[in-house]
Structure 1
């Protein structure tokens, strides 16, 4: 049986960042993941300079054979309405391919890697947790995304009583003819909110790769929304008409509405497994990385005592950073009056350059108001 101090289930940015921090402090860490890396991952794929700084990413090393696409401007608006272009004149974010990004972070983290091995079970035995009857550790971290199996052991009812965001996305390498036909600029992601404001679509070019997707508060007729969005972009001549049609789906929880318990004796959840995506944008990489930093601080301070009482400071750190979660359901609006007013005002605001820059991009998508978390 393999033994370690901390076993992390999930090798994405949250899991690899936690392993990287713990290994730097001399902790014996192992990562278990059902996939072999590099692997495809559904994600629009951009990181802010704050994430680059927190991860202490060596950009010169990273760009050796990988995409790190500078972003200097955005196009935003409502699907079918007049868009607004916002120019920054400086790099405010970077486009990445999760296929490359996650693999890079995992390989540099220094943990023992057990890849291509699905999670099969968890039991408590002799003062430690045993996973798959093969891996033993006093502390197990759930970092396996929305459907992370460790979350079940903390009481999560996956896919039942949780208000998810459902998304479909595709990323493909364009042919020479498709690159010529594509009118999407490399340094400007395009973000278009749905008419009912229950989600948004995006199109983002990263070198020779094109990423297109749409996410909504529920998955009702999601494919129809995605197809209509893509058809509109094709009619405008913005994307190749012969693009692939096989989209990939994923789900995640927005932080304010995520009901999950995050710690128990010898158990913790980080990243999407904890339901940390930003409320307005659904972006999850920065919250995932920052949750890993907070988890590492908590684990090192616990000094081997991984009781729930000792791990609760992790929840305190998250709350201080991201705010309180909402308790219970949102207030009812039986006549739909509040929603109609919200839609009318939002459509008007989304046409304004000031609102697009200072609210939609700076606050909702880049979170420039939030200080960088030291790595």
Structure 2
């Protein structure tokens, strides 16, 4: 059974108004109608509201808007704005970018990478991204401040109405049905109150997701949570073509230098700097100063990284990592959860951007199908397919990730497995392919087909 902060409610049977309508108390003067059937809709009504213009929200808004739906994309900050992230993108994320029509060439400002380098003790192993029909054979790196704005502007170019400095305060709820019918927000520096109305709302407001909490979507406490801290420093290795993960992250305050449940990374940015950080599972209840740990870890880097305290270009910042679909239900009462709001970070690797974007696309496809239905019941049934789409895509893979997370939480077992794995590159390659989730069912390679099957049939919950 789930161990939520409070038990989540099951989806209710309330009706879903069709495109162009706004229901519930406090609706704008008269229901807005579609351009084909009546007066132009008011500024504060839409077919869909997306709260949050991060990777998941902007991806959802793009795919919704390109079908002709009227989409409001509300962002509490103004671009450019910073987010805590490793800035490294796997081929899964690159595929989502190309599906948005974004130029991901190096001439357009991206640094491509060939694969992942694992470092543990004195051992180093490099794995190239596999060449697959479903995914490109390269990853990429780009700073989040630039990356997020690029995606938000792309959604706006597709027709989404992007509203910056729109700090969403809470949901508008129909008292009779319990359905969300819009949101309230405070706009701009003067925090002017405004209400937005739509029959469907998408929560893409990150791990804190105040909108989800207001609608009683609670975090499952039986799912792992992680924390990440990162900074940037100047280094001659800024154009490294491999994402680098150091597996032997240790506690400097412990006399035995115990192995911590996580890893550190160095991702070259191609601009003279590297993004350096650490990701740790917080399930073990370890009480450490993570900023100080990152500083000490950087000081212990080999000389070729040329780390110096005066070469650090930004302060250390941290963030929580919601993993393994840990907030549920992902759809109920007119509200869909995507990205960090729905806990789509991989529990095995900490990768978040690819799954955030994919969940945004799944949600958009579900909403498009729902709003095309002719009856309220038909629209509601279509919307209820979204959680199943997430389960079909991720339940098995995330179950494997939770096993990996459990391994990370057992330092002695982790040390033994790491020693065994690094001594057997072929075995480690299998683990690498499973953890980065780059497989396809129709590959000629029998190992690839087997890995895809394992990811699909692993028992999710």
TM-score by length of 1: 0.83
Provide the residue aligned with 2:322 in structure 1. Answer: 253
What is the correspondence of 1:93-132 to structure 2 with a 5 Å cutoff? 93-109=139-155, 110-125=159-174, 128-132=181-185
Structure 2 alignment gaps of length 5 or more: 1-27, 29-43, 132-136, 186-193, 251-258, 443-461
1:92 aligns with 2:138: yes
1:229 aligns with 2:305: no
- Cα shift at 1:339: 5.4
The structure-2 alpha-carbon separation of the partners of 1:231 and 1:355, relative to structure 1 and needing over 3 Å to count, comes to farther
Within the candidate set 369, 372, 375, 2:439 is matched to 369
Contact 1:191 1:201 in 2 (8 A): yes
Contact 1:76 1:356 in 2 (8 A): no
Name the SS for the 2:116 alignment partner: strand
- Cα shift at 1:85: 3.0
Name the SS for the 2:345 alignment partner: coil
Contact 2:114 2:129 in 1 (8 A): yes
- Of structures 1 and 2, the larger Rg is shown by 2
Contact 1:67 1:206 in 2 (8 A): no
Provide the residue aligned with 2:60 in structure 1. Answer: 18
- Cα shift at 1:167: 0.7
Name the SS for the 2:315 alignment partner: coil
Greater length-normalized contact order (CA 8 Å, ≥ 6 residues apart): 1
1:210 aligns with 2:274: yes
Contact 1:83 1:351 in 2 (8 A): no
1:44 aligns with 2:86: yes
Provide the residue aligned with 1:150 in structure 2. Answer: 211
Name the SS for the 2:364 alignment partner: helix
Name the SS for the 2:206 alignment partner: coil
Name the SS for the 2:166 alignment partner: coil
Distance 1:273 1:89 in 2: 30
- Cα shift at 1:215: 0.9
Contact 1:86 1:353 in 2 (8 A): no
Name the SS for the 1:32 alignment partner: strand
The structure-2 alpha-carbon separation of the partners of 1:129 and 1:120, relative to structure 1 and needing over 3 Å to count, comes to same
Deviates more, 1:244-253 or 1:104-113: 244-253
- RMSD over aligned CA atoms reads 3.2
The structure-2 alpha-carbon separation of the partners of 1:210 and 1:52, relative to structure 1 and needing over 3 Å to count, comes to same
- Cα shift at 1:121: 2.0
What is the correspondence of 1:294-313 to structure 2 with a 5 Å cutoff? 294-303=362-371, 305=376, 309-313=381-385
1:317 aligns with 2:389: yes
Deviates more, 1:314-323 or 1:125-134: 125-134
- Cα shift at 1:283: 0.5
Provide the residue aligned with 1:31 in structure 2. Answer: 73
- Cα shift at 1:88: 6.2
Structure 1 alignment gaps of length 5 or more: none
The structure-2 alpha-carbon separation of the partners of 1:344 and 1:236, relative to structure 1 and needing over 3 Å to count, comes to farther
Deviates more, 1:221-230 or 1:95-104: 221-230
- Cα shift at 1:348: 2.6
The structure-2 alpha-carbon separation of the partners of 1:159 and 1:84, relative to structure 1 and needing over 3 Å to count, comes to same
CA offsets per residue over residues 242-274 of structure 1, 9 Å max, x none?
Answer: 232621111121116x14321111111001110
Distance 2:209 2:329 in 1: 13
